[in-house]
């Protein structure tokens, strides 16, 4: 550990604070995906009534800091109304809060009605992956003292897939800089609104929301420009795990995207991202802890080599 930043090491994102707990540079945050959807794009992460509790316990044992419970597939699929979404996620939130009182719980929803119910059940964070489609959701976070994720979808509506999306760039600029400028302006405005409503600035996360409303070229450009997202001044969430940006880059199905996910995760962590939403908790925990040590933000657990 050093007394200050190392030369050439990008500045890390702002600390994250949820329910009075603060996560700084020495503790990258692992957010474990707990999907209560029968049609998730990654089949291994489809947890029904008979398997969800075991999935939660495994995530806890492997080092998850936050559980992110979701009840609706992000992409296209059978309709799921608000009542069904609540029926899928609420029992999980209630059981996790009862069995693991110190564990942080996030709920992946764009609906303010769902947000109110899970807030009453003890959720700590609202992961709004659809960029304020329901503008009342962030108001729930402010009213109940919860954290909120501000995301970017380029105007896409919930459960839609991108189609020939484009973000105009200034004349003479890299054509991909248009998406970066749109992400920065959108997230800056959304975070400012959350803070103005009363959400703790350290509980406002910003997420470029890779794949959502974006091509793979867009997502790769955003990931390599993570320091620009960090400059917004709020903890940065990266949701990379097994996404199409990895699959299309390497030509692999979701089941074979772990190595690519971990490579992208390591780069994002090195560039200063704070929170990582993942399917593979143990592998991500080790990857992030190693990057934190390389950034001189976390000490090795043992240093016996050459000493005995």
Give residue 1's pLDDT band: very low, low, confident or very high (50, 70, 90): low
Alpha carbon distance 229, 223 (integer Å) = 9
| Cβ atoms < 10 Å from Cβ of 38 | 13
Query: Considering its fold, how many domains does the chain have in total?
Result: 1
- Give residue 166's domain range: 16-294
Q: Is residue 2 part of a domain?
A: no
CATH number for 165: 3.20.20.20
pLDDT value at 55 more than 90: yes
The predicted model gives 49-75 an average pLDDT of 93
Q: Which residues pair with 34 in a beta bridge?
A: 69
Can you tell me whether residue 196 is helix, strand or coil? helix
At 5 the pLDDT is: 65
At 4 the pLDDT is: 61
Give residue 44's pLDDT band: very low, low, confident or very high (50, 70, 90): confident
**List of residues 6+ apart from 135 with CB closer than 8 A:** none
Using DSSP, how many helices (H) and how many strands (E) does the chain show?
A: 10, 10
At 171 the pLDDT is: 83
pLDDT value at 142 more than 70: yes
Q: Is residue 11 part of a domain?
A: no
Alpha carbon distance 34, 20 (integer Å) = 23
| Cβ atoms < 10 Å from Cβ of 61 | 10
| Percentage of residues in the chain having pLDDT higher than 90 | 86
Look up residue 171 and give its two tokens. 């004349």
Q: Is residue 171 part of a domain?
A: yes
Q: Is residue 90 part of a domain?
A: yes
Q: Is residue 156 part of a domain?
A: yes
pLDDT value at 2 more than 70: no
Q: Is residue 1 part of a domain?
A: no
If we measure between CA atoms, which residue out of 83, 44, 50, 86 comes closest to residue 69?
86
Give residue 278's pLDDT band: very low, low, confident or very high (50, 70, 90): very high
For residue range 82-119, list pLDDT tens digits in order.
Answer: 999 999 999 999 999 999 999 999 999 999 999 999 99
Render 43-65 in DSSP notation, one character per residue. Answer: GGGB--TTTHHHHHHHHHHTT-S
pLDDT value at 62 more than 70: yes
Average pLDDT score, the chain: 94
At 50 the pLDDT is: 79
3-state DSSP helix/strand/coil % of the chain, to nearest 5: 40, 15, 45
pLDDT: which is higher, 173 or 125? 125
| Cβ atoms < 10 Å from Cβ of 142 | 17
pLDDT value at 67 more than 70: yes
For residue range 147-183, list pLDDT tens digits in order.
Answer: 999 999 999 999 998 899 999 998 888 989 999 999 9
Q: Is residue 191 part of a domain?
A: yes
Give residue 238's pLDDT band: very low, low, confident or very high (50, 70, 90): very high
For residue range 182-218, list pLDDT tens digits in order.
Answer: 999 999 999 999 999 999 999 999 999 999 999 999 9
**List of residues 6+ apart from 113 with CB closer than 8 A:** 82, 86
Q: Is residue 206 part of a domain?
A: yes
CA atoms within 13 A on the CB side of 65: 21
At 268 the pLDDT is: 98
At 39 the pLDDT is: 83
At 218 the pLDDT is: 97
**List of residues 6+ apart from 51 with CB closer than 8 A:** none
- Listed in order, strand segments (DSSP E) in the chain are 16-18, 21-23, 29-35, 66-70, 104-108, 125-127, 147-151, 204-207, 236-238, 275-278
């Amino acid at each position: 550990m050093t007394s200050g930043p190392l030369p050439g090491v990008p500045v890390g994102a702002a600390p994250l604070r949820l329910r009075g707990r603060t996560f700084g540079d020495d503790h990258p945050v692992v957010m474990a995906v707990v999907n209560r959807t029968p049609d998730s794009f990654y089949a291994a992460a489809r947890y029904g009534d008979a398997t969800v509790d075991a999935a939660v316990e495994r995530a806890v044992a492997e080092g998850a800091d936050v559980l992110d419970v979701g009840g609706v597939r992000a992409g296209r699929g059978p309709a799921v109304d608000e009542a069904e979404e609540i029926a899928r996620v609420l029992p999980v939130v209630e059981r996790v809060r009862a069995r693991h009182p110190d564990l942080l719980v996030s709920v992946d929803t764009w609906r303010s009605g769902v947000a109110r119910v899970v807030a009453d059940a003890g959720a700590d964070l609202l992961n709004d992956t659809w960029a304020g489609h329901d503008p009342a959701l962030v108001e729930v976070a402010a009213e109940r003292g919860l954290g909120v994720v501000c995301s970017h979808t380029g105007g896409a509506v919930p459960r839609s897939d991108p189609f020939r999306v484009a973000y105009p760039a200034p004349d003479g600029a890299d054509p991909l800089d248009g998406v970066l400028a749109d992400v920065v302006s959108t997230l800056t405005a959304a975070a400012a609104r959350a803070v103005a409503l009363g959400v703790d600035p350290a509980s406002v996360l910003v997420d470029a929301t890779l794949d959502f409303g974006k091509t793979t070229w867009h997502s790769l450009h955003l990931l390599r420009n993570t320091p620009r997202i960090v400059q917004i001044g709020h903890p940065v969430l990266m949701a990379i795990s097994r996404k199409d940006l990895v699959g299309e880059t390497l030509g692999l199905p979701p089941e074979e995207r772990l190595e690519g996910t971990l490579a992208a995760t390591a780069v994002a962590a090195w560039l200063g991202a704070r929170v990582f939403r993942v399917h593979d908790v143990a592998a991500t925990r080790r990857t992030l802890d190693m990057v934190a040590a390389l950034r001189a933000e976390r000490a090795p657990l043992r240093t016996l080599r050459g000493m005995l």
